[in-house]
Structure 1
Amino acid sequence: MLPNYTVNIMAWLRSPIKGVMLDISGVLKNGNVAIPGSIEAVQRLRKCGLKLRFVTNETQLSRHDLTEKLRRIGFQLHENEVFPPAPAMVETLKGLRLNPMLLVHPKVLIDFKDVDQSNPNCVVVGDAAEHFTYERMNSAFRLLMELKNPKLFTLGRGRYYLEEDGLCLDVGCFTTALEFATGLKAEVVGKPSSSFFATPLKDMGLDSSEVVMIGDDIESDVGGAQKCGMRGVLVRTGKFRPERDENHPNVKPDAVVNDLAQGVELILSSESFKSLIKHE
């Protein structure tokens, strides 16, 4: 029996690909370890001249620290190529003139240094990990219940992610708890938000139809990208679970590949890519 990635291989590779967006956790690395073949795969994409952006819902590290961590484990990239949700959240807060209560990991607070946090009139939830204490959750709940016009923001809706020691609850679980308790609906600033994907697309200077998103989260990575007009490719690494993801009721990936290396090989060996290179 042929592997699943071959089912739609002609369809997703038929149109030219000029840029690739890559999720980080579960695609490039698990915890502090690079996934086998992922460093070389990124190098191959760069060598062939494709535009690259690294899009992530990582909110346990600042943008700078995340970039440095990836460099330490072997990836070659620049900080301005990395798009986490915290900088986008800062711009949203400034634009709306909101003062947040930050329910985020201490290591990401530096990204919010230019935001006024006095007299908070909204709550921002990130992946605080072990800092999701009852006291902090309850403080956020109380603030939202006391505000006349409460606003709740979340830096993602992921359910879980994979670390070296196993699966971990993600920010979506804690966001949902606050939604349930307050009756509010959180605004997502991060994947799968269309406005979040629009920023790296604009930075690449490409149309969404020219870009492929590769991720391990079928809803946030693949589904979010497809809603923006990109092609969404799912990898069988990271948080991928065949019983849940290969027959998802709502999201149908353009392709499913074993890992990033295999996805890159398919892109670079496709006739549409060879034709594009030949005419440039």
Structure 2
Amino acid sequence: MAVWGERLAGVRGVLLDISGVLYDSGEGGGVPIAGSVDAVARLKRSQLKVRFCTNESQKSRGELVALLRRLGFDISQEEVTAPAPATCQILKERGLRPHLLIHDGVRSEFDQIDKSSPNCVVMADAGESFSYQNMNKAFQILMELENPVLISLGKGRYYKETSGLMLDVGAYVKALEYACGIEAEVVGKPSPEFFKSALQALGVEAHQAQ
């Protein structure tokens, strides 16, 4: 305990990943990782501020929180920093109209976004929707733009489900970057801006968080 006390000296907040840290997704929604429910409960009983950061892009933030609560976690939607809401804010601020290459489970997050005459492409972990036809459509839209903008909800290589490792959005982002000769803007981990937004929501500085 003394060692932990020393390590946490000056720490005011904790950022927690979700997938692969709190639970593994899979059939029936997934399963909590051993000890994670209790660990979150103990953190919340402490003096530390807690926020959850995720690149989850197959579920809306509301659906993800509902799942975690069913698995036993004490968590609210306001405590979660997720890439889809952050991306919507960026689209509105910059007047961007996206072509969406995303999973149907997160499409509702973009209901209030103008998607007519796309002037950018937004992609996420689209799962089975990563077909040649859909990837080629995104490629064609980007190539037709004078200043192509590709925004990705995360850039992970793979993630874990109960059935095994699953290919993530990063591989598909790399394909479009290579084909179009551009670099994607990443909203989500590992983007420093994503973590900064979570810290701002906590009201702590980077040196005060773990």
TM-score normalized by the length of structure 1: 0.71
- Of 153, 156, 168, 1:155 maps to 153
Whose radius of gyration is greater, 1 or 2? 1
Residue 18 of structure 2 aligns with which residue?
Answer: 24
CA distance 1:14–1:49, change in 2 (3 Å)? closer
Counterpart of 1:16 in 2: which secondary structure?
coil
| Superposition RMSD in Å | 1.2
- Of 172, 175, 183, 1:174 maps to 172
Residue 136 of structure 1 aligns with which residue?
Answer: 134
Aligned length: 203
Question: For residues 9-37 of structure 1, what are the alpha-carbon distances to aligned partners after superposition, in whole Å with 9 as ceiling and x for unaligned?
Answer: 78x81642111110001100011100010
The one-letter code matched in structure 2 to 1:81 is E
Distance 2:39 2:86 in 1: 28
Counterpart of 1:61 in 2: which secondary structure?
coil
Question: For residues 223-259 of structure 1, what are the alpha-carbon distances to aligned partners after superposition, in whole Å with 9 as ceiling and x for unaligned?
Answer: xxxxxxxxxxxxxxxxxxxxxxxxxxxxxxxxxxxxx
Does residue 91 (structure 1) correspond to residue 89 (structure 2)? The answer is yes
The one-letter code matched in structure 1 to 2:115 is Q
CA distance 1:14–1:46, change in 2 (3 Å)? closer
Residue 241 of structure 1 aligns with which residue?
Answer: none
Q: Which structure 1 residue ranges, 5 or more long, are not aligned?
A: 1-8, 213-280
Residue 103 of structure 2 aligns with which residue?
Answer: 105
Q: Give the alignment of 1:197-276 within 5 angstroms.
A: 197-212=195-210
Identity of aligned residues (%): 50
Question: For residues 191-221 of structure 1, what are the alpha-carbon distances to aligned partners after superposition, in whole Å with 9 as ceiling and x for unaligned?
Answer: 1111111111111111111100xxxxxxxxx
Distance 1:48 1:121 in 2: 47
TM-score normalized by the length of structure 2: 0.94
Q: Which structure 2 residue ranges, 5 or more long, are not aligned?
A: none
The one-letter code matched in structure 2 to 1:38 is S
Residue 81 of structure 1 aligns with which residue?
Answer: 79
Does residue 195 (structure 1) correspond to residue 193 (structure 2)? The answer is yes
Deviating runs (4+, > 6 A) in structure 1? Answer: none
Question: For residues 31-80 of structure 1, what are the alpha-carbon distances to aligned partners after superposition, in whole Å with 9 as ceiling and x for unaligned?
Answer: 11000100000000001131111100000000100000101111011100
